Structure 1
């Protein structure tokens, strides 16, 4: 009986020991599971000292109308540099004036997993479909320099383009308060071209109403090309027997075509001509005396502002847009930067002082510089 009792105690002891081991093992598994649970994502410190969860590097898609003009090459290079300086990356595609290509390229950028799409539209209306496609993929859209019409654009960043037109007209009317005027506009498909023209006629219309100024030729320039502007100016000269007193050209590319036509007639430098974009060729024409003025829109300022706001928009942060611009569908939150009038008197203190063009390049064809 005693032996049986001892055996029973041994069995109970073994069961207790087994239970303890199991309990210890169970505790160990729970602890191990807790140790393997992913910790919270590390935080990054924002400029205001607050912290936000770490995210993968932000990728911006940049859909450009063209790289055929000097101005847009600068935009591309400076924007890329500005985005990368903020720790983001950018993929750039240019359609060179083809609406179908731009839409296809935007779709490609969307498929590449971008966080935000920045668009310089060739056609303000056609690009509306890009905005819709991007939004369907959960991607916001920022309109760069040119407004996208009839679309739910998230942000528009540009210069005050109506003011650009006003600057052009004021500069020319100061020199020619009365006379026959030619207006060589930009591309009808570009909303900016309409804004420039509106600004020009804000200034001209009161003088037209007084009878001081007569606009004897007014035409858009397809695709902004100098060749089409040349054809327009040749037609204007022919229709008026070269009796023209002033020309307002919407940008420097069209001004180049205008001045080519004037040169062929031996009257370049006699007729004031406006421009815009501060292209090198225009700066050279200004110091040579064949172009009266241009409007400088500091592209470095634009690219840095767009890069900053694009990253904020991609992160879901506030952009601080302080303006609204109607695009035919909504009041688009907008940031508009101030342009600068440039002529022979201040060219050294503006585009040259900013390093936009070197003094050597601007004055290389001028004697006694």
Structure 2
């Protein structure tokens, strides 16, 4: 299989947390209790600000592990965006004797030493959703170059004939972060030569508040009438950008694209405030990660599942499952996120959005 060109510079950016103290390190818990003393799989997720991790990723992974390995135990912790907490959680997982560690890193470069420590303890590490530095055994993630490309291509469709003269604002995190490099590469490749200019505003972290500040800077620099479209790293940042545009009384709003398909983003799309989000279906990613983790826990090969390869800044040819993201606009919400059960019509179409939903054809 061809090696995915996922290469970028390393990101610049502990005490052991005992089982009794794991809650202080990130809402730790266990599920799928062992029936016959089977292997334990450690699951570490990065934050609670983005709703997907607690709402989708954790329960889906736990469910799939239970289905594939009834005797397995899943030991869980969430870092809540804290690199130091995730270091402590890795230490705790090693101390408790997990057979495999499934981790979505808060920061790839900063967690490298912990991944090396796990490897040295004989524990295979599977990077989930984000590429991790260090000696990982496998990666399960979506193609972020394609995701960035989908964002920009959607923006071009929204602009139509106005694209050639358009000034686009990109709101992104620092380019030392691998995901930023990949997403930006895809976005710029789609915009190159098709718009008048792209102005990038770098914010310190993913989040609505930082994006609001970055978008406010863009409005002050470029002028309220000179912003024709916005590409935001994720839906939280799209939310902040939209709030800043509205605070500046810019109407109609320019098309804004995001990523992650937060429920609030879907509702903004229905309402016409956000143009598009990139959907990375949670179940295929969670299922693939769980299957790889169970196989590694049982000492089995994963090459029949991890058929792709990814190069990280530290390791070449890592076995991987690379999934294809889906662009979502008002035209395909029902087919994309309702049909597969991510959200129901009732969840999307609360009374506040009822008339917009009816107009968009979001009815049973």
Tell me, what secondary structure is at the counterpart of 2:75?
strand
Match of 1:174 in 2: 157
Is 1:295 matched with 2:252? no
Question: TM-score, normalised to structure 2's length?
Answer: 0.81
> RCO (CA 8 Å, sep 6+): is it higher in 1 or 2?
2
1-structure distance, mates of 2:342, 2:79: 25
CA RMSD of aligned residues (A): 1.7
Identify the residue that residue 258 of structure 1 maps to in structure 2: 241
Instruction: List gaps (5 residues or longer) in structure 2.
Output: 1-35, 359-364
Contact residue 201 and residue 218 of structure 2 kept, 8 A: no
CA contact under 8 A between 1:122 and 1:190: conserved in structure 2?
A: no
CA distance in 2: counterparts of 1:355 and 1:190, whole angstroms = 32
Q: Deviations over 1:267-290 (max 9, x none)?
A: 265300001111100000000000
Return structure 1 stretches of 4+ with deviation > 6 angstroms.
none
Query: Between Structure 1 and Structure 2, whose CA radius of gyration is higher?
Result: 1
Query: What is the CA deviation profile of residues 14-61 of structure 1, one whole-angstrom value per residue up to 9, with x for unaligned ones?
Result: xxxxxxxxxxxxxxxxxxxxxxxxxxxxxxxxxxxxxxxxx8412111
**In the superposition, relative to structure 1, how do residues 67 and 253 fare at CA in structure 2: closer, same or farther (>3 Å)?**
same
Residues 352, 199 of structure 1: alpha-carbon distance in 2 compared, 3 angstrom cutoff: same
1:154-173 CA-partner distances (Å, limit 9, x unpaired): 10001111111010010001
- Alpha carbons 1:146, 1:190 under 8 Å: kept: no
Q: Aligned ranges for residues 150-161 of structure 1 at < 5 Å?
A: 151-161=134-144
Asked if the contact 1:131–1:152 (Cα under 8 Å) also holds between the matched residues in 2, the reply is yes
The whole-number CA distance in structure 2 between the counterparts of 1:69 and 1:186 is 15
Among 62, 69, 85, the alignment partner of 2:43 is 62
Correspondence for 1:353: 339
CA deviation after TM superposition for structure 1 residue 361, in Å:
2.1
Instruction: Indicate whether 1:325 and 2:310 are aligned.
Output: yes
Provide the residue aligned with 1:232 in structure 2: 214
Tell me the alpha carbon deviations over residues 317-356 of structure 1, each in whole angstroms, 9 at most, x when there is no partner: 2212222211122221111111111101010111011121
CA contact under 8 A between 1:161 and 1:195: conserved in structure 2? yes
- The C-alpha deviation readout for 1:45-98, integer Å capped at 9, x for no partner, is xxxxxxxxxx84121111221122211112122222222222222111111111
**In structure 2, what is the Cα distance between the partners aligned to 1:181 and 1:58?**
50
- Cα distance in 2 for partners of 1:189, 1:90 equals 32
Structure 2 SS opposite 1:344: coil
The answer to whether structure 1 residue 305 and structure 2 residue 305 are counterparts is no
Q: Which residue of 131, 156, 159 maps to 1:147? A: 131
**2 CA distance for matches of 1:270 and 1:80?**
41
Could you say if the C-alpha distance between residues 189 and 63 of structure 1 is closer, same or farther in structure 2, counting changes exceeding 3 Å?
Answer: farther
* Cα pair distance change 1:323/1:169, threshold 3 Å: same
Aligned residue for 1:274, secondary structure, equals: strand
Scaled by the length of structure 1, the TM-score of the pair is: 0.80
